Amino acid sequence: MTTDQSADVSSGGRLRPVVWIVALLACVGLAGGIVRVVQVHQAYGVWAVQPGARTPKLPFHGRSYHRSGAVTGDPSSVDLGPAPGGGHVFGAPMTDVPTTVVVRYGDGSTAGYTLSGGS
């Protein structure tokens, strides 16, 4: 065996574990990203890593609301708290289960959401 051949074998033997480690880390990162995208889709109804402000679904206080369209007029006077992705949720007082809520965004626009499923 020449010195060139022995150098190729030894360097290839050392690089192989590094390649496997890099490939393994890439697979773990990709799997984590896929899990996150699926979780966001189940909660908000969008295929994204992070939900935007105006999503088809609104998880709020353990309940799921679906977007029902634009709302005209002034939302209910009770501020129920911040909405995921920005804005504030308005609706009936939290002593009741609000069947509809309104999200008012920073730009003044609103979107209505109705309770999905049971009370």
109 to 9, 31, 98, 105: CA distances (angstroms): 66, 37, 20, 6
Q: Above 60 in pLDDT, residue 99? A: yes
Looking at residue 7, its pLDDT comes to 47
Q: Dump pLDDT digits (tens) for 49-85.
A: 988 878 899 888 888 899 987 675 555 468 888 888 7
- What single letter denotes the amino acid at residue 81? G
Report the alpha-carbon distance of residue 111 to residue 101 in Å, rounded.
Answer: 9
Structure pTM?
0.68
Mean pLDDT rounded to a whole number for the chain = 81
Tokens matching residue 92: 């009936």
Residue ranges per structural domain of the chain: 1-51, 57-115
| Cβ neighbours of 41 (radius 10 Å) | 14
What DSSP letter does each residue of 74-101 carry, written as one string?
PPPSEEEEEPTTSSEEEES-TTS--SEE
Looking at residue 47, its pLDDT comes to 92
Report the alpha-carbon distance of residue 40 to residue 51 in Å, rounded.
Answer: 7
